[in-house]
Chains A and B, each alone.
Chain A
Amino acid sequence: MKKLFSAVFVFFTLGAFSQELFVFTEPASNMPAKSFGFRNMNAFMFEKDDKLNYHNMPEIMWGINKKWMVHAQGFISNRQEGGFEAEGGSLYAKYRFFSEDAIKNHFRMAVYGRYSLNRADIHQQELETMGHNTGYEAGLIATQLLHKVAISSSLSYERALDNNPGYKFPTTESNSAMNYTLSVGKLMLPKVYTNFKQTNVNLMLELLGQRLNENGKSYLDLAPSIQFIINSQARVDIGYRQQLYSTMKRTAPNGFILKFEYTFFNVFK
């Protein structure tokens, strides 16, 4: 099964890119047990009428043990009339249920779930519980690391609910969707390690897709990114998301992502 998975991945990603701390998706691996992480994601998305949608999503992360990790995230954006406003938040948990390690190589599988609240208006057919819709998402992730290259794929079910208190989910629209992702990453620098202080550079390429269950409308995005890991502890990610095609209404699919992350090791005893 594992070999089949790898073969399928390699087939789809011939000559492609990265390591597995992906910018637009989560790998099946967890953060170290008893560590604490802080992440701040900034999305600058272009709306059709030249308006810039800015989303700020601060996030805290906790590695409970080697199998479980949880995130809590807030959603702030400038989309509403009143300007910069807190719109909601979410809780995320990931459980790594399979792990096979070899020298510079691993295969992992995990399941995850997210529950989000959002009080912004519902303005597109695309479902996105990260920053747009109240709802939940449950999925499966498989990640293979092969020396300097990592390949990861996920499949999830996403269900949107009413954005209370002000906005009911329209009964005419599909309130559920399947999401699928394929991510590849490669460690580009350093070629040879000398110490923890060397900045690591990863290149990544991700495919992000969604299909609405009730009307079959779909989209597919391509998202390249570059990642810098500083002092083996801090992360700076710069990514760009570009729609390849879409048959559904999306307000602002294209734009830049700027993400900062810092891990505090062994915070919890």
Chain B
Amino acid sequence: MKLFILIASVVLLSNTAAKSQITRAELTATGLTCSMCSKATYKQLTSIPEVKEVVPDLNTTAFMIYFKEGSAINVSELKKKVEDAGFSVGELVVVFNFNNQQAVNNSSFKKNNITYTFMDTKPGVLSGEVKVKILDKGFVVDKEYKKLAKLTKQYPSYATVSNNSYHIKTL
């Protein structure tokens, strides 16, 4: 019986882990208009091993990015590739699949060794597919970053920029 519970909980846990992954992302690149620039960005994004498909919108310079099932993407990889193409990330919205996740400002959760801290978010419990916006430096336009940087008293961890810790806002 104990063994059964153990197996059951392992299965359940792994299910939860699989569900909590980032399934897709919507990235808006800045600093470009022409289709050659979009293509350079598109080519960079498709070279990421975790990426299954990229659907570009050339008029808005936005890219819908779908990830491979079971993959663990670090959003810093998306930023690096856009910058390698010669441009910047203006907005990055990722879709999380949550399972009763408490959302309280300044509280964090960890997925695949990456810490996500809620910021500027309405408190609540999150379940299913939820769009969250990455608020850290390099993932928002400069103007917005300057605004957010004024909130560091309220969100002390926002001052630290790291490749395994991000601040998110539910949309």
Contacts and interface: CB of A to CB of B under 8 A. Distances in A.
Interface of A: 19, 21, 29-35, 65-66, 99-106, 145, 147-148, 187, 192-196, 198, 200, 229, 232-233, 235, 263, 265-266
A198 B86 contact: no
A65 B61 CA distance: 22
Nearest to A198: B35
B36 A33 contact: no
Nearest to A96: B86
A196 B35 contact: yes
Contacts of A104: 30, 32-33, 61
Contacts of B39: 196, 232-233, 265
Nearest to A265: B43
Interface of B: 28, 30-36, 38-40, 42-44, 47, 56, 58-59, 61, 83-88, 90, 141-143
12 contacts: A19-B34, A32-B84, A103-B30, A145-B33, A148-B33, A187-B34, A195-B58, A196-B39, A229-B35, A232-B35, A235-B36, A266-B47
B86 A32 contact: yes
Contacts of B47: 266
Given A193-B58, A265-B43, A101 B88 contact: yes
Nearest to A101: B31
A229 B31 contact: no
A104 B88 CA distance: 11
B84 A33 contact: yes
Nearest to B91: A103
B164 to A, nearest CB: 22
Nearest to A32: B40
Nearest to B29: A101
Nearest to B85: A32
B84 A30 contact: no
B59 A193 contact: yes
A35 B38 CA distance: 14
Nearest to B56: A196
A200 B33 CA distance: 11
A66 B142 contact: no
Contacts of B59: 192-193
Contacts of A229: 34-36
A232 B58 CA distance: 11
Given A30-B86, A32-B86, A265 B40 contact: yes
Nearest to B143: A102
A200 B35 contact: yes
A121 to B, nearest CB: 39
Nearest to B36: A232
A200 B36 contact: yes
A233 to B, nearest CB: 6
A254 to B, nearest CB: 30
Contact of B31 (A19, A34, A106, A200): A106
A66 B86 contact: yes
Given A32-B43, A66-B84, A102 B30 contact: yes
A102 B141 contact: yes
Contacts of A193: 35, 38, 58-59
Contacts of A192: 59
